[in-house]
Amino acid sequence: MVTLETKLGSLKLKHPIINASGTFDVLEADKVLQADLFNEFPFAAYVPKTVTMQPRTGNEPPRLYETAAGLLNSIGLANKGIESFIAEDLPRLASLPVPVIASIAGERTDDYGRCSEMLAGREEVAGIELNVSCPNVELDGKALGCDPGRTERATALAQAATSKFLIVKLTPNVTDIVELAQAAASGGADCVSVINTVHGMALDPWTLKPVLGHTTGGLSGPAIKPVALRAVYMVSHAIDLPVIGMGGVTTAQDVLEFLAAGATAVAVGTASFRDPLPGARLAGELVDLMEVRGIDSVKELVGRA
Amino acid sequence: MVTLETKLGSLKLKHPIINASGTFDVLEADKVLQADLFNEFPFAAYVPKTVTMQPRTGNEPPRLYETAAGLLNSIGLANKGIESFIAEDLPRLASLPVPVIASIAGERTDDYGRCSEMLAGREEVAGIELNVSCPNVELDGKALGCDPGRTERATALAQAATSKFLIVKLTPNVTDIVELAQAAASGGADCVSVINTVHGMALDPWTLKPVLGHTTGGLSGPAIKPVALRAVYMVSHAIDLPVIGMGGVTTAQDVLEFLAAGATAVAVGTASFRDPLPGARLAGELVDLMEVRGIDSVKELVGRA
Amino acid sequence: MGDLPIPASLHDCPVVESRPVGSYRLVSFVAREVAALARPGQFLMVRAAGYSLDPLLPRPLGVHDIDSDLVKILIEPVGRGTMSLASLRVGDRLSVLGPLGNGFSLTGAGPALIVGGGIGAAPLTLLARALAERGRHTECLLGFKTRGQAVAAELFRNADVEVFTEDGSMGSEGLISEPLPECLRRMEAAEIFACGPDPMLAAVARTARDCGASAQVSVAAHMACGVGACQGCVIKTRDGYRRACSDGPVFPAEEIAW
Amino acid sequence: MGDLPIPASLHDCPVVESRPVGSYRLVSFVAREVAALARPGQFLMVRAAGYSLDPLLPRPLGVHDIDSDLVKILIEPVGRGTMSLASLRVGDRLSVLGPLGNGFSLTGAGPALIVGGGIGAAPLTLLARALAERGRHTECLLGFKTRGQAVAAELFRNADVEVFTEDGSMGSEGLISEPLPECLRRMEAAEIFACGPDPMLAAVARTARDCGASAQVSVAAHMACGVGACQGCVIKTRDGYRRACSDGPVFPAEEIAW
Ligand SMILES: Cc1cc2nc3c(=O)[nH]c(=O)nc-3n(C[C@H](O)[C@H](O)[C@H](O)COP(=O)(O)OP(=O)(O)OC[C@H]3O[C@@H](n4cnc5c(N)ncnc54)[C@H](O)[C@@H]3O)c2cc1C
Ligand SMILES: Cc1cc2nc3c(=O)[nH]c(=O)nc-3n(C[C@H](O)[C@H](O)[C@H](O)COP(=O)(O)OP(=O)(O)OC[C@H]3O[C@@H](n4cnc5c(N)ncnc54)[C@H](O)[C@@H]3O)c2cc1C
Ligand SMILES: Cc1cc2nc3c(=O)[nH]c(=O)nc-3n(C[C@H](O)[C@H](O)[C@H](O)COP(=O)(O)O)c2cc1C
Ligand SMILES: Cc1cc2nc3c(=O)[nH]c(=O)nc-3n(C[C@H](O)[C@H](O)[C@H](O)COP(=O)(O)O)c2cc1C
Ligand code: FES
Ligand code: FES
């Protein structure tokens, strides 16, 4: 008998598949899709889009372009701001049958502490993901997530502000991602998410000018799966925290591989654009793949590569 | 009237498309393929596989695995060593109708100087590419190509040893590729190649162990095109040297885009595995694409993004 | 625009017909639920079902026509996504999410002018029929680059259609922005419905304002999710960025910041 | 192994037949030059022609059979590359590079035993015919997991074939390594030709050595270029790494470092 139940640090998950921030919006999906999302939520936890202290309109369009087996985006953290998120969205998310993991990003290092503090008292929030790695914004001058010292400090500020389950989301756009994972661990993270999107760019086939309004963007989808799998493998071997693996997860076979590479849970992003509610389907298929391999639990699977 | 003739620094090329090191072997192809390669060479220059001071057997197989729109390899610079290359291969390459650009890598920083010196007096060699960026070997402890100081020193040693056209091939596996390009420029490079493969990994779908004998490998092919295009764009805007663009170039449209992004010439690697002699075909198609856009020369095209 | 949103879902649909219509391709597939629910101006996110991860994502395509259980789309092959969809054959399967978006609002009254540019004509056939069914006097102005595209005008069947081509190879020569004001006045049209390239939509918006007519325009944008989740498809409006997929694709012309 | 290499080139080939043979798929396509040149044991690099960049690279597949202008391949769908090739239909086009590799050397004499394991049987039909044409007494031992694969043995037509399945669902039950020594002795076979999974090939090599027969084995490896350029397909031999594509895929059994 295969069981998919798993523990991500202090969070109990009914299966190891969650959504990646910015790619699935339950409040919108509930309006548009034929599905009873507040009763049968397809993922084992819900991660809303990243919010920041101030509302952000995001980058100039176009913001999307498809590349070979990949997607470039330059959304630029368009969001309503953490205050509206807390006032309008959180109460509605309270009735979800799964843990909610808020995602926050800072314009300055201090913001990670301030946002965490604002969420600290909210019961609806089970965990907080610090997005220190969005490639589409230059908050705080240069990317904070490329600098171990500042990543550690942002984490420590959040850690001091809240006792919630704290996840730091790492960027692959660095010489050594392990160094950043170690910085997050030193700062007091409970978990790391690996990986955010990979720096990329596309030109319009006809005009030969950058397609994206923001010139460059972040690459996601199956194209980056090998990059993500390596990062998960390296990070999970180097630090003692649980890892949420993501980057191109599209099939149950991908879930299996990320878990084997060392992830304790796996997030689905771009694949939600091929199938808007992949969580439950992938979990079902994962059971089959584990069964034929004689693997009974996620625990047995994690890190077996 | 479209002309494809172009100058890559001091090298005259009949069109802007060359081969990427390690992916096309004219001596082998001449044995196997129905083509008169020594008279109608399909690329505008020939770059043989990287050679090192000592022969290398390369990494444990398997060395290849296909990923979504990409290829992982961990060849590990298998080569016969620079002495055999000079003695056996160079004399045969002398009759090629295009410039030969030797590719070298060092076990230690000094090797770049020593190998360059060995090639300095050879007339068959028009240029030398310093491969400081192979992700599949750990020559000299840690990857030299991730360290600006050592990249500059390796370049300076080669520059001191030879007056040949000197190209430094950069890795994308760094936080800031521009910094490395600047280091190569300071060291006296005449040109930079952008990019070598991206760090990645794959698991065997059944055993869930790393597929590659070397565990990790380098990702190439269309999957990395957005990463390469961005790198070319950033580097060509930041330094004053000509750039050879590569990473996923498969169609004439890709060639067009790399040139527009700022490359002066473009190298084809993985796409040679879909079509073993793509150079001449791509050049022909490139003319058509330039014609409909009213672009008459490569010069007009380079950097127009 | 449009009425209450109708729940969309993912459908696995067999292709039953694929034939060229000039330089476009008309593809019909079985999709009972979509056929029952879709309204004029709504769209679908469509991709080939199968092993390949390239093209990766579905492409937004307007619902061109409905014939009992069959849904029809009209494809202009402009890039790898649309080319691969255009190369599918009978028996191949599509993955289809929809119907999506608000569609055109049909609550207005009075004579209606439909304006289509290029492949923007695709979703307007359904609209022409719906307006006629509501007893509104409806005329269509369709503009194309050249004859190869303009033959698609035949898909409007019984509708009152006038065709323009830029090179004069079919119908009258010129852009539709030229006859537009005159046509509006002659018809005493109260409302314009338009879909096509941005410059055309902008011209429609200007003319409508000048002539005191109202206008609904269906805009285009690159999309990923199609359901309002990714913030990727935004266009500039007077209220700031709005999503083409879930706030649109149909907007009152005066809301768009051209 | 084999004789002088024969020039290979890239061919664009229409599929004219695709049908299941048990759990395998038999695909025939028009490729006049390949049909004229290919020898037993040579292989092709095959991919679907088209817009998609995934699967990206061709897959190495043995030449299974030749029928005037037609070349036939037998595919076991094990991953995305072989699955997408197995899903192609009549009218689809293949991009085919070949013929490649050395193939089996046919210069020997005396009774010959052909040993195939699973999909490794695919290239052996052509070999069986070639040996028979040379007047050599030839028998085939074919081993499969189960009946669904073993029905492929029918493709050997007139050849003298004995089938084994691991589950006994067709032919005799067991691995072919068991009857192998006895069969060699009975036939007084001078030479073994084998293709199949590594453990089977290793058993063949051992048995051949023990019985004083010579053996040629066709090995498998992941390939990218197929023409000796990338050093990606190496296998371990007594002389160090050698390329399966251009030094092989057929090697004298005693050269392989198992
Ligand atoms: C609501 C809506 C309805 C549509 N209805 C139809 C229809 O009925 N028939 C039809 O043929 N097309 C329709 N389109 C346009 C179609 O979605 C695009 O042509 C398609 O996405 C292009 O994808 P591609 O891979 O073929 O081209 P790409 O290779 O992605 O790009 C080729 C060119 O098309 C442009 N492009 C890419 N994606 C889009 C996009 N989503 N919208 C506009 N331009 C794009 C690129 O900038 C580029 O210049 C519709 C678009 C929207 C938003
Ligand atoms: C000379 C030669 C002749 C061959 N002839 C045939 C034939 O006639 N019919 C046939 O069906 N197959 C044949 N094969 C095997 C076939 O090439 C592989 O099954 C195929 O490459 C797998 O690709 P995939 O994308 O389907 O699987 P992947 O998704 O790439 O992998 C699926 C599984 O197959 C393994 N695999 C992947 N590539 C290869 C490879 N090149 N060789 C061996 N294992 C691999 C992987 O490790 C994995 O376990 C031959 C191989 C060689 C080298
Ligand atoms: C359209 C889009 C928007 C995204 N927005 C966010 C975001 O707001 N916050 C964040 O942490 N990551 C964001 N990401 C990154 C994803 O969460 C994920 O890390 C990445 O896309 C890799 O996973 P995938 O390949 O499955 O998409 C976004 C990705 C996409 C494609
Ligand atoms: C099989 C293989 C072998 C390679 N060997 C070398 C090499 O020896 N030296 C080198 O500088 N780059 C080597 N590369 C990298 C390519 O030259 C090129 O930089 C990279 O593959 C990106 O281009 P592509 O996507 O067109 O393949 C190799 C790449 C592949 C796929
Ligand atoms: S396409 Fe995702 S919000 Fe519109
Ligand atoms: S596949 Fe490239 S050397 Fe054999």
The alpha carbon of B196 and the centre of ligand 4 are apart by a number of angstroms equal to 6
The answer to whether residues C185 and C210 belong to one domain is yes
Q: Which residues contact D67 (CB under 8 A, 6 or more apart)?
A: D28, D35
The answer to whether residues C26 and C139 belong to one domain is no
β-strand partners of D2: none
pLDDT at B34: 83
The answer to whether residues C152 and C172 belong to one domain is yes
For the four alpha carbons of A17, A21, A25 and A27, in that order, the dihedral sign comes to: positive
Distance, CA of C48 to CA of C25 (rounded, Å) = 15
Q: A interface toward C at CB cutoff 8 Å?
A: 22-25, 28-29, 31-35, 49, 57-58, 61-66, 68-71, 73, 75, 78, 205, 221-222, 250, 270, 272-277
Query: Tell me, what CATH number does B143's domain have?
Result: 3.20.20.70
Give C226→chain D minimum CA distance, Å.
23
Q: Is B20 part of a structural domain of the chain?
A: yes
**Ligand 1 atom at minimal distance to the Cα of residue C222:** 41
Q: Which two tokens stand for residue B287?
A: 């003319």
Ligand sitting nearest the alpha carbon of B249: 4
- Cβ distance A208 to B305 less than 8 Å, yes or no, reads yes
Q: Looking at chain A, which residue has its C-alpha nearest residue B175?
A: A174
Q: Is the CB of B103 under 6 A from ligand 4?
A: yes
The answer to whether residues C127 and C232 belong to one domain is yes
- Cβ distance B71 to D57 less than 8 Å, yes or no, reads yes
pLDDT at B136: 66
Q: Is the pLDDT of residue B126 over 70?
A: yes
Q: A interface toward D at CB cutoff 8 Å?
A: 68-69, 222
Question: Which domain covers residue D224, as residue numbers?
Answer: 112-255
Question: Which chains have at least 3 CB atom pairs separated by less than 8 Å from chain C?
Answer: A, B, D
Q: Name the residue facing C84 among D52, D55, D91 (closest C-beta).
A: D52
Give B88→chain C minimum CA distance, Å.
43
Which of D57, D225, D230 has most ligand 4 atoms within 8 Å of CB, for mutation? D230
Confidence of residue D3 (pLDDT cuts 50, 70, 90): very low
Question: Which domain covers residue A246, as residue numbers?
Answer: 6-301
Report pLDDT digits (tens) over C65-101. Answer: 999 999 999 999 999 999 999 999 999 999 999 999 9
Q: Is D3 part of a structural domain of the chain?
A: no
The answer to whether residues C219 and C117 belong to one domain is yes
The answer to whether residues C129 and C56 belong to one domain is no
Q: SS3 of B36, please?
A: coil
The answer to whether residues D118 and D94 belong to one domain is no
**Which chain B residues touch D197 with a CB distance below 8 Å?**
none
Chain A interface includes D239 (CB < 8 A): no
pLDDT at C3: 46
- Please state the φ and ψ torsions of residue C43, each to the nearest 5 degrees: -135, 175
Predicted TM-score (pTM) of the model is 0.96
Report pLDDT digits (tens) over A258-270. Answer: 999 999 999 999 9
Q: Is B19 part of a structural domain of the chain?
A: yes
Q: Is C1 part of a structural domain of the chain?
A: no
**Which chain C residues touch B69 with a CB distance below 8 Å?**
53-54
Mutate one of D34, D95, D234 to test the B interface: name it (highest B CB count within 10 A). Answer: D234
Nearest CA to ligand 2 atom 40: D222
Q: Is A231 part of a structural domain of the chain?
A: yes
- Cβ distance B68 to A208 less than 8 Å, yes or no, reads no
Residues B189/B166, Cβ–Cβ less than 8 Å? yes
Q: Looking at chain B, which residue has its C-alpha nearest residue A232?
A: B201
Q: Is A1 part of a structural domain of the chain?
A: no
The answer to whether residues D212 and D238 belong to one domain is yes
- Cβ distance C52 to D84 less than 8 Å, yes or no, reads yes
Higher pLDDT, D163 or A137: D163
Report pLDDT digits (tens) over C165-219. Answer: 999 999 999 999 999 998 898 888 889 999 999 999 999 999 999 988 999 999 9
The amino acid occupying position A80 is: K
B-contacting residues in C 18-47 (Cβ below 8 Å): none
Chain A interface includes C67 (CB < 8 A): no
- Cβ distance B216 to A210 less than 8 Å, yes or no, reads no
Question: Which chains have at least 3 CB atom pairs separated by less than 8 Å from chain D?
Answer: A, B, C
Give D49→chain B minimum CA distance, Å.
10
Nearest CA to ligand 1 atom 38: C222
Q: Is the pLDDT of residue A228 over 50?
A: yes
The alpha carbon of A166 and the centre of ligand 5 are apart by a number of angstroms equal to 29
Mean pLDDT, rounded, for A115-129: 96
Q: How many structural domains comprise chain B? A: 1
Confidence of residue D188 (pLDDT cuts 50, 70, 90): confident
**Which chain D residues touch A69 with a CB distance below 8 Å?**
53-54
How does the average pLDDT of chain A come out, rounded?
95
What is the DSSP secondary structure assignment for residue D51, as one 8-state letter?
S
Ligand sitting nearest the alpha carbon of C100: 1
Q: Is B238 part of a structural domain of the chain?
A: yes
Confidence of residue A280 (pLDDT cuts 50, 70, 90): confident
Which of D28, D61, D85 has most ligand 2 atoms within 8 Å of CB, for mutation? D61
Q: Is the pLDDT of residue A139 over 90?
A: no
Q: Is C5 part of a structural domain of the chain?
A: no
3-state secondary structure chain C: CCCCCCCEEEEEEEEEEEEEECCEEEEEEECHHHHHHCCCCCEEEEEECCCCCCCCCCEEEECCEEECCEEEEEECCCCHHHHHHHCCCCCCEEEEEEEECCCCCCCCCCCEEEEEEHHHHCCHHHHHHHHHHCCCCEEEEEEECCHHHHHHHHHHCCCEEEEEECCCCCCEECCCCCCHHHHHHHHCCCEEEEECCHHHHHHHHHHHHHHCCEEEEECCCCCCCCCCCCCCCEEEECCEEEECCCCCCEEEHHHECC
Q: Looking at chain B, which residue has its C-alpha nearest residue D81?
A: B66
pLDDT at A138: 63
Q: Is C130 part of a structural domain of the chain?
A: yes
Mean pLDDT, rounded, for D67-88: 95
The alpha carbon of D47 and the centre of ligand 2 are apart by a number of angstroms equal to 13
B134 labelled catalytic:
yes
Higher pLDDT, B277 or B260: B260
Chain A interface includes D51 (CB < 8 A): no
Q: Is C107 part of a structural domain of the chain?
A: no
Q: Which two tokens stand for residue A36?
A: 């009873």
Domain end, chosen from D56, D80, D100, is at: D100
Which of C245, C247, C250 has most ligand 5 atoms within 8 Å of CB, for mutation? C245
Buried b (16+ CB within 10 A) or exposed e, C7-46: ebbbbebebeebeebbbbbbbbbbbebbbebbbbbbbbbb
How does the average pLDDT of chain C come out, rounded?
93
Domain end, chosen from D43, D67, D100, is at: D100
Chain B interface includes C51 (CB < 8 A): no
- Cβ distance B71 to D95 less than 8 Å, yes or no, reads no
Report pLDDT digits (tens) over B52-97. Answer: 999 999 999 999 999 999 999 999 999 999 999 999 999 999 999 9
Higher pLDDT, C2 or D248: D248
The answer to whether residues C116 and C174 belong to one domain is yes
Q: Is D139 part of a structural domain of the chain?
A: yes
Q: How many structural domains comprise chain D? A: 2
Higher pLDDT, A280 or A61: A61
The answer to whether residues C77 and C185 belong to one domain is no
Q: Is A59 part of a structural domain of the chain?
A: yes
Domain end, chosen from C47, C71, C100, is at: C100
Q: Is B1 part of a structural domain of the chain?
A: no
Confidence of residue D2 (pLDDT cuts 50, 70, 90): very low
Query: Tell me, what CATH number does D72's domain have?
Result: 2.40.30.10
Q: Where in A178-252 does DSSP place strands (E)? A: 191-194, 198-201, 216-220, 243-246
Give B187→chain D minimum CA distance, Å.
31
- Cβ distance C230 to A273 less than 8 Å, yes or no, reads yes
The answer to whether residues D121 and D173 belong to one domain is yes
Report pLDDT digits (tens) over B184-225. Answer: 999 999 999 999 999 999 999 999 999 999 999 999 999 999
The answer to whether residues C121 and C142 belong to one domain is yes
Mutate one of A32, A72, A251 to test the C interface: name it (highest C CB count within 10 A). Answer: A32
